[in-house]
């Protein structure tokens, strides 16, 4: 039985995942961390029967619940503090929060290596999105250029998304398409029209109500384009990936980045 604390339990992702986790026979939800609705029974937050714990914003209260694992769906600044705290207290942590900076992740990797904790950073729990990234890596070398369009709900705080950054990272291991954001003969009539730039790839972010999480990776070559697209139309799409992460974290190293480490394409 794995004892789990959900950080960000009052958020949309925290609620959606927690409602499913409570149904698992080999998992026990023992704590919920959030800055909102503190003191309120978690069952009321989740719309289920009364639970044996209330929402808290105290790390000390979380520690009293003795969780084996934290699953974090908060914001980048809170997640950064929580990751550090989990490592210092020898608690494993799976992080679905995006917006964590590369320098911070490098520091955490070194910190985790000297600890008894496992830190698993997952930019996207949707298995289809992970396969999209892996396919992009496989075919990148056959094309002349690539751009990414990512679209998310209007409440998402960071741009570009962690998934688009992870996709650009994995493609850049095969090929660097562009040395700078604009080509020598390009001109933007409106600044930013060509999107952001990361690891040789232009990334375009869309934020609109009605969206959940969507990404298109567009490859171009002479006379042809290839589009790989993934759409999460409901937050339930993330749950199989969460369970995959929970089920496999005990066999991972102290620091792992990306659900792709658990998925093999043959």
Burial class (CB in 10 A: 0-12, 13-18, 19+), 189: exposed
Question: What are the b/e assignments for 202-231, b being 16+ CB within 10 Å?
Answer: bbbbeeeeebbbbbbbbbeeeeeeeebebb
DSSP for residue 27:
E
174 part of the active site? no
How many Cα atoms occupy the beta-carbon half-sphere of 237 within 13 Å?
Answer: 15
| Whole-number Å distance between alpha carbons of 14 and 23 | 15
Catalytic residue list contains 152: yes
188 φ, ψ (degrees, to nearest 5): -95, 120
Q: Which of 44, 63, 156, 261 is catalytic?
A: 156
Q: How far is CA 124 from the centre of its chain?
A: 4
- Residue with structure tokens 């969507």? 214
Longest dimension (CA), the chain: 64
Integer-rounded Cα radius of gyration of the chain: 20
172, with CB counted inside 10 A (0-12, 13-18, 19+), is middle
Packing angle, helices 127-139 and 162-172, rounded to 10: 30
Q: Which of 76, 125, 123 is nearest to 99 (CA)?
A: 76
Which residue among the candidates 152, 204, 214, 230 is catalytic per the annotation?
Answer: 152
Residue 105 phi, psi dihedral angles, 5° rounding: -65, -35
Q: Which of the residues are catalytic?
A: 152, 156
């Amino acid at each position: 039985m794995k004892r789990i604390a959900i950080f960000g339990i009052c958020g949309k992702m925290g609620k959606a995942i927690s409602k499913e986790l409570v149904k698992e026979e080999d998992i026990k939800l023992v704590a919920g961390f959030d800055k909102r609705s503190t003191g309120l029974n978690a069952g009321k937050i989740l719309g289920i029967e009364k639970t044996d714990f209330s929402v808290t914003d105290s790390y000390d209260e979380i520690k009293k619940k003795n969780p084996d694992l934290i699953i974090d769906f908060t914001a980048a600044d809170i997640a950064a503090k929580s990751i550090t705290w989990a490592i210092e207290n020898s608690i494993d942590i799976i992080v679905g929060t995006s917006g964590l900076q590369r320098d911070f992740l490098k520091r955490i990797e070194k910190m985790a290596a000297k600890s008894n904790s496992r830190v698993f950073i997952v930019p996207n729990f949707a298995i289809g999105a992970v396969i999209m990234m892996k396919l992009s890596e496989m075919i990148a070398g056959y094309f002349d250029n690539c751009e990414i369009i990512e679209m998310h709900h209007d409440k998402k705080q960071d741009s570009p998304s962690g998934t688009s950054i992870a996709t650009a990272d994995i493609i850049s291991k095969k090929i660097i398409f562009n040395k700078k954001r604009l080509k020598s003969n390009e001109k933007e009539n409106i600044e930013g029209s060509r999107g952001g730039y990361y690891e040789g790839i232009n990334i375009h972010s869309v934020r609109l109500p009605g969206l959940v999480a969507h990404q298109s990776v567009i490859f171009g070559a002479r006379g042809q384009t290839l589009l790989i697209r993934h759409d999460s139309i409901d937050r339930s799409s993330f749950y199989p990936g969460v369970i995959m992460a929970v089920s496999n974290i005990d066999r991972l190293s102290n620091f792992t980045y990306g659900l792709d480490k658990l998925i093999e394409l043959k």
